[in-house]
Chains A and B, each alone.
Chain A
């Protein structure tokens, strides 16, 4: 299912993820799901979804890491769409620095204890 057909969907939330994650979110009640196999496909679909005015796009951390620059370009200086990355079935990726903490450090200038 690689084409985007949004005329049927009524909510403005979409999932772009691997097939297992997609199955899970389908069970949770989201219809606008796109199982993708490679990063290029993910880019294309996220672009399409953005153009169609989806306001929340859920993707996995792995995909997020794979197309980080692309996502940054889309979300730069914009409120919508919100692209949120969640862990897939293998669990959360361990990161050296928490991206949110990094933002706090840049904004405030000091590291706050969280």
Chain B
């Protein structure tokens, strides 16, 4: 037998039955894992559709917001901008929940109250520049986009990891475990048949000897 086999099995009928059970189990497991992999990949593609362009949006929005911020710093001075930023009220309400996709926990982020009116922001309107309002507004929008980005990227990352490990298990079963078990079953069957033939011949010889 050139093919690989499970180590340390005796060619007996008990072992054969046990091995056949193992083959059945492995085949069943392989089928289930394959289905899991396919479902994960489908989910993965749908999340990839959502991920498209989110990062670009964040980059664009942040770029614009930083421009406004730098303009505000140029007009009002670093210190005044820092002071105004310190007095901004926090109204952000974020809830991070998780949902399960084929046994993988992925985050779901919900948020409200990100956009604020000028008065809600909490800094004085007299000694601040309009650029500062634009920057605040831009950063509020950027935060909303970043939240979406973080949800999507994390989901992609987690799903990719799970797909990889599921794929590895599917392949291990398909190419190593199942063939190995089947080879062993075949080996035991052949050994048992051989033993039966040996026995048959032995009986024949004894019979012959007794007749003489």
| Residues of chain A at the chain B interface (Cβ within 8 Å) | 9-13, 20, 23-31, 55-56, 58, 75, 77, 79-80, 82, 84, 86-89, 91-92, 100, 103-104, 106-108, 112, 114
User: In B53-112, which residues have CB < 8 Å from any A CB?
Assistant: 55, 58-59, 62-63, 65-66, 69-70, 81-82, 84-86, 88-94, 96, 98, 105-107, 109
Number of interface residues of B (CB under 8 A): 58
A25–B88 Cα distance when bound, in Å, is 10
Shortest Cβ distance from B152 into chain A, in angstroms?
9
Q: A79-B105, A79-B106, A106-B164 are in contact. Are A27 and B156 (CB under 8 A)?
A: no
Q: Looking at the complex, which one of A55, A58, A89, A103 makes contact with B156 (CB distance below 8 Å)?
A: A103
Q: Which 4 A-B pairs have the closest CB atoms?
A: A28-B139, A26-B85, A84-B150, A107-B160
Residues of A within 8 A of B154 (CB): 79, 82, 84
Q: Is the interface of B mostly helix, strand, loop or mixed?
A: helix
With most chain A CB atoms within 10 A of its CB, the pick from B55, B82, B114 is B55
A86–B153 Cα distance when bound, in Å, is 12
Contact, CB under 8 Å: A82 / B107: yes
Shortest Cβ distance from A5 into chain B, in angstroms?
14
Closest to B115 in A: A29
Q: A26-B85, A27-B84, A87-B63 are in contact. Are A10 and B90 (CB under 8 A)?
A: yes
